[in-house]
Chains A and B, each alone.
Chain A
Amino acid sequence: MSFAFWSAADTARRVAAGEVTATQITDAALTRIETIDDQLGAFLAVDTDGALAAAAEVDRRRAANQPLGPLAGVPIALKDVLVTRGLATTAGSKILEGWIPPYDAHVVEKLRAADAIVVGKVNCDEFAMGSSTENSAYKPTRNPWNPARVPGGSSGGSSAAVAAGLCAASLGTDTGGSIRQPASLCGVVGLKPTYGRVSRWGVVAFASSLDQVGPLTRTVADAALVLHAIAGFDPRDSTSLEAPVTGLLESLTGDVRGLRIGLPQEYFEAMDDDVRAAIAQTAAALIERGAETVDLSLPHTHLALPAYYLIAPAEASSNLARFDGVRYGRRVEAGDLTEMYAKTRGAGFGPEVKRRIMLGTYALRSGYYDAYYKKAQQIRTLIKRDFDRAFRYCDVILTPTTPTPAFAFGAKATPFDMYLADVFTLSCNLAGLPGISVPCGLARDGLPIGAQLLGRPLDEPTLLRAGAVIEAAVGLGDRRPAIGGAA
């Protein structure tokens, strides 16, 4: 029996019912990683011992008739920016090579408490900076639907591993689209929660005011299940919201009658024809089931990209100051302290990270602060107001997740071309809103297309409800990718 494409919900239910053991599931996942990941390149570290020990503990508790958590026996991979006790955490960077953390991220604690099985750490763009996972200092990750294409990024290992059936779910982080964009490119569901919904304790920081952790799964129901497990108040994160976690598991009613779907004109200007057709089909499917569409405008959308690429690098340049070769990670020795810092950071960081540190340092520099960083923060206010106004007329906003399906390795000629891959996903982070990407069909060349839904703060339930309807109407069904799909 192959468990490879079982949903997380099915897996947990069958483990709890005793139809299958957590050890069987975990063994199968580890074997698949061993046999398939050579072609995929998703995993940076596989925690065989830890995963088997956790599975054995679940089986022991089940045998003793003790209650099991909602993710009992579900194999889950973690983006390598999530800190794991005793398991190397690199953030995709050479500067953290060899670092063994002494603590677990909050979300990792929550997953373990829900009896999930952490199978390993997956690849990403260095410090989550990128849109293709090509910026990983370790290796490229391939798109399971077409190995000549990128899986998206920065959570490209997370999306590829789930799409190819190497785990039931994964966690990624999303600062400007890094969950939704790779989910879209790999044909899986990716959910970026409301800012503050999930604790950032133990998330290697990229841009603190934008970063959020969220699930990548093969079904919308699984996204609800995993988010339910990781969300909630954490006193160690000062920006963690105290609002109770409710309505997620009950959200999948299949009923979108009367739901008002906003279509912002600025998101439908430039995109691939197949993407345009798929989103039109998605909107039509929602209307057919009783939803209404509302044409609207988010007039400051064109400013989101410059605002984001000033704010995110500015915060990154500050957050990455701690990587100095003194207390952990890589150090390049030098006779002089300043030289030791500069050489350590010069050798430890890759080109995109250096570019963003430079851009951020430039924008924060005395005398330039008002023209760049403060200006970008003011534009952020304008973007947030656009959404506040739009949500008076609609309940969710529907857009494409990305302008094109997965692109080829090396296809983006300049850094700015790569930045444009995030053009539809950035605003959501600037405004702190929840967003989800749900597969909505394949392009003519067989690559997945994703529909993005954006919602009001803490209204993940509505995103999930509409997302599940999209999944049922125009989702990928039983279609599987080239890598891993045969199993």
Chain B
Amino acid sequence: MPELTRKEVEEIALLARLHLAPDEIERMQRELGAILEHFAAIASVDTSSVPAMTHAVPMDLRMRVDVPEPSLPAEVALANAPRRDGDLIVVPSSIAPARSGTGTEP
């Protein structure tokens, strides 16, 4: 498996919206690289005819009837919001020119 470059670490951090300090990037590159090396064993396992398992217990999708239940009062729903304007949650503008905009989808 290929070695992890610093550029890759920065790209993944941006995808994950995770600010990393320069020393964290370095450490992450080293540690993730070492972990991935330990995982190299899986590449040589022949799984060509093995189905992927997403869940341990096979079951059909459970569904619910289309009947409304009471809503949270807006005051309760918004009680933990870091910044509010009335019943709205306020965030920095998402349509201002982005500095690094990969992955967002307005």
Which A positions have Cβ atoms within 8 angstroms of B? 98-100, 102, 194-196, 209-210, 235, 238-241, 302-303, 305-307, 309-310, 317, 324-331, 333-343, 345-347, 349, 351, 354-355, 357-359, 361-362, 365, 371-372, 374-382, 384, 414-416, 419, 429-433, 457
Contacts and interface: CB of A to CB of B under 8 A. Distances in A.
B68 to A, nearest CB: 15
B80 A99 contact: yes
Q: Which 9 pairs, one residue from A and one from B, show the smallest C-beta to C-beta distance?
A: A432-B56, A346-B19, A328-B80, A377-B52, A378-B47, A331-B82, A342-B19, A341-B17, A306-B39
A397 to B, nearest CB: 16
A317 B15 CA distance: 11
Contact of A378 (B53, B62, B89): B53
B56 A325 contact: no
B28 A354 contact: yes
A354 B34 CA distance: 16
A378 B43 CA distance: 12
B91 A326 contact: yes
A379 B45 contact: yes
B55 A209 contact: yes
A346 B89 contact: no
Contact of B72 (A102, A307, A331, A345): A102
Nearest to B78: A327
The DSSP consensus for interface residues of chain A is helix
Contact of A336 (B8, B82, B92): B92
B7 interface: no
A376 B51 CA distance: 11
Contacts of B21: 346
B57 interface: yes
A336 B89 CA distance: 16
B41 interface: yes
Given A361-B12, A382-B47, A416-B34, A377 B42 contact: no
B17 A345 contact: yes
Contact of B18 (A327, A345, A374, A377): A345
A238 B62 CA distance: 5
A416 to B, nearest CB: 6
A342 B53 contact: no
B83 A355 contact: no
Contacts of A241: 57, 59
B81 A327 contact: yes
Given A100-B80, A336-B98, A357-B18, A415 B35 contact: yes
Given A235-B62, A336-B98, A338-B17, A430 B41 contact: no
Contacts of A416: 34-35, 38
Interface residues of B, number: 59
A196 B80 CA distance: 30
B92 A334 contact: yes
Nearest to B80: A328
A385 to B, nearest CB: 9
Interface string B7-31: 0110011111111110010001001
A98 B32 CA distance: 31
A209 B54 contact: yes
A238 B52 contact: no
Nearest to B77: A102
A102 B35 contact: no
Interface in B66-104: 72, 76-77, 79-83, 89, 91-94, 96, 98-101, 104
A305 to B, nearest CB: 8
B28 A303 contact: no
Nearest to B97: A336
Given A239-B59, A362-B12, A337 B91 contact: yes
A359 B35 contact: yes
A337 B102 CA distance: 12
A338 B28 contact: no
A406 B95 CA distance: 52
B17 A342 contact: yes
A197 B91 CA distance: 40
Contacts of A327: 80-81, 89
Nearest to A382: B50
B18 A349 contact: yes
B93 to A, nearest CB: 7
Given A209-B54, A239-B55, A341-B17, A336 B96 contact: yes
A484 to B, nearest CB: 35
A333 B20 CA distance: 16
A362 B1 CA distance: 13
Nearest to B81: A327
27 contacts: A100-B79, A195-B55, A195-B56, A196-B56, A306-B42, A317-B16, A326-B89, A327-B89, A337-B91, A340-B92, A342-B17, A342-B18, A345-B18, A346-B18, A347-B19, A354-B18, A354-B20, A359-B32, A359-B35, A365-B12, A365-B15, A374-B52, A380-B52, A382-B45, A429-B56, A432-B55, A433-B56
